[in-house]
Structures are given as structure tokens and as C-alpha cells.
Amino acid sequence: MIVASNLSKRYPGGYEAVQDVSFEISAGQMVFITGHSGAGKTTLVKLIASIERPTAGSLVVNGQNLSALRRSAIPYVRRHLGMVFQDQKLLFDRSALDNVLLPLQIVGMPRRESIRRAQAALDKVGLLAREKARPIALSGGEQQRLAIARAVVNRPTVLLADEPTGNLDADSATDILEIFADFHRVGVTVVVATHDQNWIERYHPNVLRLDHGRLL
């Protein structure tokens, strides 16, 4: 599903965030990327989401070699990924439902069908009752659940999250983790970057541990 070989990312200015990393994540696996802050977790997530481009090595996601990808092909790769960001990146000028509808509008799904799908996604994260609420009226944990609903509404094969519990209290963080575990159980490949050790002790997932850009 995700295969990295000798993957490196050097930012302009010479800082090498990821150095010579190789790993393989197969379909349906749940994998955690851990490490201290600045170890390269976020860069690795950005490489998988083709937000950043590798400077050396190769990265294949869903059979697509991302280092050789044309710029115009990137949107279509991202549609098969569900992305959850630490800062959610929700749109505050529209309702929860409209936030979840955005990925479906992007692929041009008819309105009626997309509303049904978006409501199902909201239901899955326990927010159906709040579909008309603006994100500003939601708690931190609810906002993160809304972000997950938006990430999964397109039924992606890979769910990718960068520090999804970074700003949450322990209870909300556990809720979020449960949701990820649910998606893993129905066969979605889940990749989560986190420095939260509790997760690892509780779920014993496969772990990629990074230190100064290198895999330990």
C-alpha cells in the first residue's frame, strides 16, 4: 500500500528532515509514526500526502510513484487519502455538514447523494445531531471528529493523520483513537503520526520510530 525506499527530504537551506528511510505498510495495517518533536514525523506524513516532494529515493502510495508524479496528477492521488491535520483546517464560514460535503463537491458527486454520504460520515463520528452547527461552536474534540468525518467521507483506502490528538484532553484523545481503531477494523489502512505513548501501549500497533530524520 505504502512503500518507501531510501526516501529523503532535504528542505531548501539544507535541513534534511527525513534521511534514507525505507519501510513498507501493507493494506489494512494500522501504523504509528512516533519520535520526539522535530524527528521528521510531519515531513513523512506530508510526503505520503504529496504535500512535499521527496528529494531522493522513492515513495509509492496506492501503486503511484509520488516522486515521479506530474503536478496535475496530485489531486487525484490525494482523493484516495483521508487527511486529518493537527490544526483540523476546518472552514469556519459554513456548517459542519458543508465542511464534510466539500470533498464530495470536489469529485462532483450529485447533491442528494453527497448529503446522504456526509450525514453517514457525521453519524460515524457521533456528530449527526450537530450537522448545522458552525465549527466555532464545537469543542476541540468535536472539531477533530468533524475533521475525521471530512477525511473519510470519500471512503479513502488510507487514513492519514498528523498529531490528531495534539491539542486535546485525555478523554477526547481516547475518543479519537477509538474512531481510528474502528476504521482499521473495517479494513482501512490507518497511518498516524503521534508522540503520545499511551496509544502505543494500549493498541500495540506497528510502529515506525523516527529520530533526527532516520528510522530506528
Partner 1 sequence: MKAWFAQHQAALASAFHRLWSTPLNTLLSLLVIGIALTLPGAGYVLLDNLRDLGRNASGVQQISLFMNLDASKKDVGDIESRLRSAGAGKWKFVPKEEALKRMQKSEGMAEIVASLPRNPLPDAFIIEPANTEPEALEVMRKEIAGWPKVAHVQLDSAWVKRFDAFLKLGKLALWMLGGIFAAGLVAVTFNTIRLQVLAQAAEIEVARMIGATDGFIRRPFYYFGALQGGLGGLLAAALVAGAVGLLGGPVGDLATLYGGSFALNGPSLLDALVLASAGAVLGWLGAQLSVSLSLRKFD
- Contact positions toward partner 1, by CB under 8 A? 49, 51, 72, 75-79, 83, 85, 89-93, 102-103, 105-111, 150-151, 154
Give min distance, CB of 155 to partner 1, in A. Answer: 13
Give min distance, CB of 202 to partner 1, in A. Answer: 29
- Residue 147 burial (CB count, 10 A): 26
Give min distance, CB of 111 to partner 1, in A. Answer: 8
Nearer to partner 1, 11 or 24 (CB): 11
Q: Which residues pair with 49 in a beta bridge?
A: none
Nearer to partner 1, 12 or 108 (CB): 108
Lookup: cell for 57: 529515493
Give min distance, CB of 84 to partner 1, in A. Answer: 11
Nearer to partner 1, 33 or 90 (CB): 90
Nearer to partner 1, 51 or 137 (CB): 51
Q: Which of 190, 12, 154, 7 has the alpha carbon at shortest distance from 75? A: 154
* Matching residue, cell 468535536: 142
- Residue 108 burial (CB count, 10 A): 7
Any idea of the CA torsion for 49, 147, 103, 77, to the nearest 10 degrees?
Answer: 10
What is the DSSP-derived secondary structure letter of residue 170? H
Task: State how far the Cα of 154 lies from the Cα of 166, in Å rounded to an integer.
Answer: 24
Give min distance, CB of 95 to partner 1, in A. Answer: 14
Nearer to partner 1, 1 or 102 (CB): 102
